[in-house]
């Protein structure tokens, strides 16, 4: 499985960015996918997840501003980020994991084992 992120960059507060993750070698079945981020000196944070039923979850800090989506026909996982804030500055990673039906219903506790290399998002005030 290979995941490659793109779309990061430097923007001003209030602007938008769309991250994309190209996925290869992944056999779609029951799974969770997600976007995570890690800022310098901080722990990695789960930003948003989506499962095979397109059920989504979001961190409270991004709810209402970020939207996760998937396109299995194009093998992509996207994250639309609107109204960006300086505290959104971080390295963003996409991740994927096969799951059982029970574990993957909300993806909240699923430990991802397939990761991309990350794309940097910098938001200035």
Report the chain's mean pLDDT, rounded to a whole number.
95
The yes-or-no verdict on residue 106 having pLDDT over 90 is no
Nearest one of 58, 77, 75, 54 to 66, comparing CA atoms: 58
Spatial strand order of the sheet with 2-6 comes to 2-6, 17-24, 76-81, 66-71
Q: Check: CB of residue 19 under 8 Å from CB of residue 119.
A: yes
What is the dihedral sign for C-alpha 21, 25, 31, 36?
negative
Sort 71 into a burial class: Cβ within 10 Å, 0-12 / 13-18 / 19+: exposed
The yes-or-no verdict on residue 120 having pLDDT over 90 is: yes
Indicate if the pLDDT at residue 117 is higher than 90.
yes
Q: How many CB atoms lie within 10 A of CB 41?
A: 5
Distance of alpha carbon 22 from the chain centroid: 12
């Amino acid at each position: 499985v290979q995941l490659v992120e793109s779309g990061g960059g430097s923007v001003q507060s209030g602007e938008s960015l769309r991250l994309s993750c190209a996925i290869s070698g992944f056999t779609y079945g029951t799974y969770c996918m997600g976007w995570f981020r890690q800022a310098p000196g901080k722990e990695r944070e789960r930003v948003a997840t989506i499962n095979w039923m397109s059920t989504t979850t979001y961190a409270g800090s991004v709810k209402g501003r970020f939207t996760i989506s998937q396109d299995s026909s194009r093998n992509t996982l996207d994250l639309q980020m609107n109204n960006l804030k300086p505290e959104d500055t971080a390295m963003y990673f996409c991740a994927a994991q096969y799951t059982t039906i029970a574990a993957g219903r909300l993806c909240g506790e699923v430990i991802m084992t397939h990761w991309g290399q990350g794309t940097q998002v910098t938001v200035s005030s």
